[in-house]
Amino acid sequence: MKVSRRSVLLMAAAPFVPIVPASAQGSSSEGMVQQLNLGSMGGGTNPQINFNPFAPNKLSLGTMFEKLYIINDYNCDLVPWLATKYTWKDPRTLDFVIRTGVKWSDGQPFSAKDVAFTFNMLKKNPALDINGATQLMSAVSANGDTVTFTFSAPAAQAFYQIGDTWIVPEHIWSDQQDPVKFTNPKPVGTGPMLFDHFNSQELVYKRNPDYWQADKFKVSGLRYTKPAEGSADQLRLANGEYDWNAMFVPNVQKVFVDRDPQHNHYWFSQGSPISFSMNLTKAPFNDVKFREAMAYAIDRDAIAKKAELGYVTTASQTMMQIPGQKDWIDPKIADQGKIAYNKDKALQTLTSAGYKQQGGKLLGKDGKPIQFNFMVPAGWSDWIQAAQIIQRNLADLGIKMNVETPTAAIHDQRRASGDFDTLFTVPAGLCSMYTNFSLPLNSAATAPVGKNATSNWIRFKDPATDKLLAELASTTDPAKQKPIVYQLENVMMTQYPLIPLWYGAVWFEYRTEKAIGWPSESDPYCSPNDTELVLMHLRPPK
Amino acid sequence: MVYFLRRIAFFIVTLWAAITLNFIIPRIQGGDPAQAIVQSFAGQGQGVDPAQVQAVRLMLGIPNENLFQQYIDYLKAIGHGQFGLSYTYFPYTVTHMILQALPWTLVLIGVTHILSFFIGTAVGAWAAWRRNQLFDSLATSISTFLGTLPFFWTGLMLLYFLAFKLGWFPDSGGYSGHESIAFSFSFLKDAAYHAILPALALLITGPMGWIMGMRNNMIQILGDDYTRLARAKGLSEARIAMMYGARNAILPNVTAFAISLGGIMGGSIIVEQIFNYPGMGRLFFESIGNHDYPLMQTIFLFITVGVLTANFLADMLYGVLDPRVRRGGR
């Protein structure tokens, strides 16, 4: 109870609580970062206690649980965490060496057995397997400090899914008859934060003094709140009520930074590329020359500046994220695969492929004017604006594109069943190169029109690409993966199955009043999504 | 007696129709609840992992029997008062979610609704009594003006000025983070403090309909022969106003009020959205967005049953109050 009083103390909105010096807390607050105010606590509009890390509606976990590896979302570094090392014996056998000396927050020792237990539980309860970590896994076993995974097929990409899975304590979870319905009200984890208290307005964590890297972890607590509605939450941000938030703010310089230029900062880094995607079963999209023309016909800069308010950068046709993944781009590809807007080249490509412009209209090879629909979810206003820019770009070529805006649910359903002409998709941007290309391009992830496809909605089918993906899955050495990834990038550069346009922004606003050491454009040591890495870097201001 | 039996039969048939529509409508909405939930937690424009969508689909155990079997199961479940697990708040039950949200809406909307009725009726009666004088013109013109303002605009203005500019009231929520829900003085005080702003927004627009209705009824009645007779008899002004005018004029308003009680829950969506109030309206709104069939269905059911029951009671009340209705055309 002592600790919850402390969190009350730090709340600006509690004037009636007497101010007690932080040192009264006992623990060394010297050199510590005070409790930080964060945004959304998660869990929907009526949040309920749910610390099941595998549930979609869980509350913000505040680093209570940890993973074997942290995959740096910005530069794709692999940071050993609960595991110290991994080795591929062959593409079907993966070993992790588990860190020793780690304790669960209830004092019990953490071991390789907990790791094996977690993955066995996910295998038995696929409803918990949110990463698909056990899809190819045939067995997992612990032997001393080593956990060995075996797979039913070559699965080099599985490292990313397994490394990125929360590890839970066997001594708590093995008692659960149905772990899918377990809300884990008294969470026990290995992480630097401990659950303190929750109600539907705030969720508070306190520092775990017995954390295995406690000497490096200086943040004394986290306080998540229930966000206010839309623009009201922006006003809170402007008032300095959040030390860390991830929200879209129009005109962030004026609305947020200018309110307190000394402390208010933001860094919108590059997220997953958003791509103009065509239904490849239909004409004219089944013509590679038409798709190539589309790559030149769309003014990506206008989209970045107008629809996305200049917060984003234009994307590379290779689908790699620039700058985070620039080392993965084939050096032979010009301009890192960024294609500049060139209306004339687009028209030239079309006419040399047999399309004709007549009376301001572009005629297809069958002599009929080309017109098609673009589908975008209702209410996604920046995407709708981007679609309207494309609409104008294509009108310049004589192509009529109608923008239709069904509800998101209908959009997703029609996307899955192939009932569309063109739309935006967000296929890649992950650190697993296999997944980046497999989700949108693997023929195993598609289905005939009328049947639901899992992720290859454009219905791209290319045996050569499938072969490259299979090769990538059996190649465990990153140095040997590169040439294969280069070839997949060249599929993108020559066949244009998708036209990546811009990188979605990772929203990130922060204040340096209580803490410094945040990732930023000048010090991009990780993505703001890597909560653990960010918190490990924070220090009190001097 | 025939009248009452006929009303009861009508009530049962409409109730069945409402329950059935309630089953059908969400299902023709289309879309995959698992996809909708994962996307809503990921946020607009974010890619979602198909593995996660698949996991959620398995978690919810979305039924794959035929629609008729689902309908039978649904009727059985309603008969037993079992509404299942919410999709959005899995593994919490629909009943748990509704019981948590219902008191907030009942207190906030219920109290302001009743207050609106009394304020509106009193103002309307006074305006009619003083018709064509200063109070009447002020009351009618101001209420017409305020009544045409969109509710969300009034709400946002209040929020901006009273919560952000002046900081007099909290900007959102039903209570402060440092309180825990309990039947204690400090919690009730805190909850009341949070309710002031949304209540104010409701009270600005709420009484308008009642004012106009009451004023018009009463003006008509004050012109009737029996009122003139009362005046000719030399009864006191107060007695004419209260016992002759207001008492008769209020009857249509009472029926309208009974009917409007059923709509309380439906009317709470906008106010709860604006003020981030933890009631039924927000819950309902979210359940639609997430394709949370069990939750959506149950709230729909509450609303329709509420409206139907209120209508039914109003019909009954009318039958008691006015014998002409009971006898029908005869």
Let me know whether B55 and B202 are in one domain.
no
- For B211-226, how does the pLDDT look when each residue is reduced to its tens digit (9 = 90+)? 888 888 888 888 888 8
Let me know whether A205 and A293 are in one domain.
no
Six-digit token string for A406: 């069904």
Average pLDDT for chain A: 91
What's the CATH code of the domain at B260? 1.10.3720.10
Residue A383, domain member (yes or no)? yes
Let me know whether B224 and B275 are in one domain.
yes
The count of other CB atoms within 10 Å of the CB of residue A400 is 14
C-alpha A158/C-alpha A421 separation (Å) is 33
pLDDT of residue A11: 36
Higher pLDDT, B192 or A243: A243
How many degrees, rounded to 5, is the angle at CA A373 between CA A372 and CA A377?
165
Let me know whether B163 and B60 are in one domain.
no
Residues of A in contact with B171 (CB under 8 A): 228, 232, 235-236
Let me know whether B73 and B113 are in one domain.
no
Residue B167, domain member (yes or no)? yes
Let me know whether B297 and B214 are in one domain.
yes
Let me know whether A195 and A163 are in one domain.
no
C-alpha A198/C-alpha A216 separation (Å) is 27
Q: Residue with structure tokens 């039950």? A: B93
Let me know whether A472 and A531 are in one domain.
no
Let me know whether B221 and B104 are in one domain.
yes
Residue A520, domain member (yes or no)? yes
| Cis bond upstream, residue A15 (ω within 30) | no
Let me know whether B71 and B110 are in one domain.
no
pLDDT of residue B309: 83
Q: A246 in the Ramachandran plot: left (φ > 0), alpha (ψ -120 to 50) or beta?
A: beta
Pick the last residue of a domain from B82, B112, B139.
Answer: B82
Of A181, A199, A425, Cβ closest to residue B180: A199
Q: Into how many domains does chain B fold?
A: 2
* Cβ separation A126–B177 shorter than 8 A: no
pLDDT of B271 above 70: yes
* Cβ separation A46–B180 shorter than 8 A: no
Let me know whether A255 and A286 are in one domain.
no
**Structural domain for B47, as ranges:** 33-82
- For A142-189, how does the pLDDT look when each residue is reduced to its tens digit (9 = 90+)? 999 999 999 999 999 999 999 999 999 999 999 999 999 999 999 999
Let me know whether A329 and A442 are in one domain.
yes
Q: How confident is the model at residue B233 (pLDDT cuts 50, 70, 90)?
A: confident
Let me know whether A160 and A286 are in one domain.
no
Mean of the pLDDT values across residues B170-176? 76
Of B30, B59, B176, Cβ closest to residue A413: B30
C-alpha A432/C-alpha A162 separation (Å) is 12
Let me know whether B142 and B250 are in one domain.
yes
Within 270-289 of B, beta carbons closer than 8 Å to A belong to 273-276, 278, 282-283, 285-286
Pick the last residue of a domain from B47, B82, B117.
Answer: B82
Let me know whether A128 and A207 are in one domain.
no
Amino acid at B7: R
C-alpha A359/C-alpha A455 separation (Å) is 39
Residues 6+ away with beta carbon under 8 Å from A317: A295, A337, A338, A339, A492, A493, A496, A499, A500
- C-alpha distance from A443 to closest chain B C-alpha (Å): 15
Let me know whether A352 and A473 are in one domain.
yes
pTM above 0.90, yes or no: no
Let me know whether A280 and A264 are in one domain.
no
Let me know whether B294 and B167 are in one domain.
yes
Beta bridge partners of A71: A78
What's the CATH code of the domain at A252? 3.40.190.10
Residue A15, domain member (yes or no)? no
**Considering just the CA atoms, what is the radius of gyration of chain A in Å?**
25
Q: Residue with structure tokens 């308008």? A: B208
Of A201, A232, A407, Cβ closest to residue B159: A232
Residue B314, domain member (yes or no)? yes
Pick the last residue of a domain from B24, B53, B82.
Answer: B82
Let me know whether A293 and A320 are in one domain.
yes
A and B: number of Cβ contacts within 8 A: 167
Of A13, A46, A135, Cβ closest to residue B278: A46
- For B243-264, how does the pLDDT look when each residue is reduced to its tens digit (9 = 90+)? 777 877 787 887 788 778 766 7
DSSP structure class, residue A167: E
C-alpha B235/C-alpha A131 separation (Å) is 83
Pick the last residue of a domain from A139, A173, A207.
Answer: A173
pLDDT of residue B184: 75
Six-digit token string for A206: 């306190």
Residue A448, domain member (yes or no)? yes
Residue B207, domain member (yes or no)? yes
Segment (H or E) for B12 = helix B2-28
pLDDT of residue A163: 95
Let me know whether A307 and A443 are in one domain.
yes
Q: Into how many domains does chain A fold?
A: 3
Residue B256, domain member (yes or no)? yes
Higher pLDDT, B173 or A260: A260
Let me know whether A74 and A37 are in one domain.
no
Mean of the pLDDT values across residues B287-310? 84
Whether chain A has a CB inside 8 Å of the CB on B116: the answer is: no
What's the CATH code of the domain at A93? 3.90.76.10
DSSP for A286-353, please give it: T-HHHHHHHHHHS-HHHIIIIITTT-S-BPPTT---TTTTGGGS-TTSGGGGPPPP-HHHHHHHHHHT
Beta bridge partners of A276: A424, A499
- C-alpha distance from B272 to closest chain A C-alpha (Å): 10
Whether chain A has a CB inside 8 Å of the CB on B309: the answer is: no
pLDDT of residue B322: 65
pLDDT of residue B267: 66
**Burial, A77: exposed, middle or buried (Cβ in 10 Å; 0-12, 13-18, 19+)?**
middle
* Cβ separation B31–A13 shorter than 8 A: no
C-alpha A499/C-alpha B186 separation (Å) is 58
Six-digit token string for A363: 């005629």
Residue A7, domain member (yes or no)? no
**Structural domain for A234, as ranges:** 22-56+191-268+507-537
Residue A80, domain member (yes or no)? yes
Let me know whether B76 and B224 are in one domain.
no
What's the CATH code of the domain at A376? 3.10.105.10
Of A127, A226, A426, Cβ closest to residue B58: A127
Q: How far does chain A reach from its first CA to its final CA, in angstroms?
A: 31
Which SS3 state, helix, strand or coil, does residue A534 take?
helix
* Cβ separation B276–A455 shorter than 8 A: no
Which SS3 state, helix, strand or coil, does residue A78 take?
strand
pLDDT of residue B287: 87
- C-alpha distance from A331 to closest chain B C-alpha (Å): 28
pLDDT of residue A29: 62
- A266 close to A533: Cβ distance less than 8 angstroms: no
Let me know whether B135 and B263 are in one domain.
yes
Q: A176 in the Ramachandran plot: left (φ > 0), alpha (ψ -120 to 50) or beta?
A: beta
Which SS3 state, helix, strand or coil, does residue A401 take?
strand
- A499 close to A227: Cβ distance less than 8 angstroms: no
* Cβ separation A57–B41 shorter than 8 A: yes
- B250 close to B242: Cβ distance less than 8 angstroms: no
- A56 close to A72: Cβ distance less than 8 angstroms: no
Let me know whether B185 and B265 are in one domain.
yes
Residue A183, domain member (yes or no)? no
**For every one of its 542 residues, what pLDDT tens digit does chain A have, with 9 covering 90 and above?**
333 333 333 333 333 333 444 433 434 467 899 999 998 888 888 889 999 999 988 999 989 999 999 999 999 999 999 999 999 999 999 999 999 999 999 999 999 999 999 999 999 999 999 989 999 999 999 999 999 999 999 999 999 999 999 999 999 999 999 999 999 999 999 999 999 999 888 899 999 999 999 999 999 999 999 887 767 788 889 989 999 999 999 899 999 999 999 999 999 999 999 999 999 999 899 999 999 999 999 999 999 999 999 999 999 999 999 998 999 999 999 999 999 999 999 999 999 999 999 988 999 988 899 999 999 999 899 999 999 999 999 999 999 999 999 988 889 999 999 999 999 999 888 999 999 999 999 999 999 999 999 999 999 999 999 999 999 999 999 899 999 999 999 999 999 999 999 999 999 999 999 999 999 999 999 999 999 999 999 999 98
Residues of A in contact with B283 (CB under 8 A): 45-46
Amino acid at B94: V
